[in-house]
Structure 1
């Protein structure tokens, strides 16, 4: 099996798992992953994560030209912004998951760091999660907002829309996305309950030891 065939299968397997667990519904959400030749495989527009066909994924060459497969997601500018500003990016996952989207709508969430330091893994896999403002779905300005961060963040949530996470490969991006959704759920469950948070020293120790690729 070629590297491209294997990656096509992996994208569809992961997408089906995301759909089956209710992390994104209908035809929402999209995934991209970089190929060894520098091109991209991208989920098509209007396609359900639960029924993707590996042969119909959108294929881009290393120069960013759509060369094969179905028409790509309209949110390509969001994906390409990560690849262009973070050299370590091997995959991008964007969902419309419930808890992180809900958290993005709260007025008192810090837009520079919307998740409180509740768990070690949220620090290790996500770092500071930025809340970006609302953009119309498909608006190229989403990509410009990501570019404006100059590669400093790997995880963010589009207000009233959903989270987007970049990782060194598809598996890393998925794990980070799962961590973002679960930590958002914890933040909502503990809201107004005055939880004990990780201290600044504990957070810095995690950063020092694990050296996460998010900043």
Structure 2
């Protein structure tokens, strides 16, 4: 088989972005960052109508989330809801999804998780329905490593405390994402940059795997190559989240709110 370099991964892992070299984004409030994340992930395919929820824990312990009534591509900073740690709304007239309990329990169970994302994307949703782990066929699908658990005890919407606790236990202490059988996808992260890379990589990996299957199949990347190609998670993908945020700002500057 032809050996391929993909990228010089060792060089990338040693690469340290120069802080302050350029302003990649204007100053953006925490609520505007969450609104931008909704828009960015909508463009990545996390776009099942008004379904789905993102929570971002703040340094003071409060949690920012998107409202239930709005689709992710119309949300602005003014729409983002602030919750306390128990899920009580502090500053909005919007509703929040009953399934927010899963996010609240995840934030409590794992101190490393500050961002939780759930939706029913098209491509990862296909593999969730197949209850199969999609193989990795290319570099972009390998950015976040090999392991991808499937939670296959789906009993309905995740608005039941017992069901949420079961899922959190199944995820364990280190899982970065999961497919929810016959349901959708779940991604967690320490910050927006890391969570975005995981969400985008998961959907890309699932799409490519399904396309390859339809084309008749191929040999996936060996796990060893995937681990060599995967990016250092503490940094996410340098500059990627900011680039996607700028794209959304060009599309609709009103996302920053009033």
Q: Which residue pairs with 1:132 in the alignment?
A: 151
TM-score computed with the length of structure 1 as normaliser: 0.80
Does residue 97 of structure 2 align to residue 76 of structure 1? Answer: no
> Looking at both structures, which has the greater relative contact order when contacts are Cα pairs under 8 Å and sequence separation is at least 6?
2
Contact preservation (8 Å) 1:39, 1:64: no
Tell me the distance in 1 between the aligned counterparts of 2:142 and 2:43.
27
In structure 2, runs of 5+ residues without a counterpart are 1-27, 236-258
Residue 185 of structure 1 deviates from its aligned partner by 0.7
Tell me the distance in 2 between the aligned counterparts of 1:199 and 1:212.
23
Q: Which residue pairs with 1:173 in the alignment?
A: 195
**Who wins on radius of gyration, i.e. which is larger?**
2
Contact preservation (8 Å) 1:23, 1:98: yes
Among candidates 47, 72, 75, match of residue 52 of structure 1: 75
Q: Which residue pairs with 1:147 in the alignment?
A: 168
Q: Which residue pairs with 2:206 in the alignment?
A: 184
Tell me the distance in 2 between the aligned counterparts of 1:31 and 1:117.
26
Q: Which residue pairs with 1:7 in the alignment?
A: 30
Among candidates 109, 118, 123, match of residue 137 of structure 2: 118
- Superposition CA RMSD, Å: 2.7
Residue 119 of structure 1 deviates from its aligned partner by 3.6
How many equivalent residue pairs?
Answer: 203
* Residues 26, 210 of structure 1: alpha-carbon distance in 2 compared, 3 angstrom cutoff: closer
- SS of 2:207's equivalent in the other structure is helix
Q: Which residue pairs with 1:67 in the alignment?
A: 90
Tell me the distance in 1 between the aligned counterparts of 2:166 and 2:209.
25
TM-score computed with the length of structure 2 as normaliser: 0.68
Please say which of residues 45-54 and 27-36 is displaced more in the overlay. 45-54
Q: Which residue pairs with 1:88 in the alignment?
A: 112
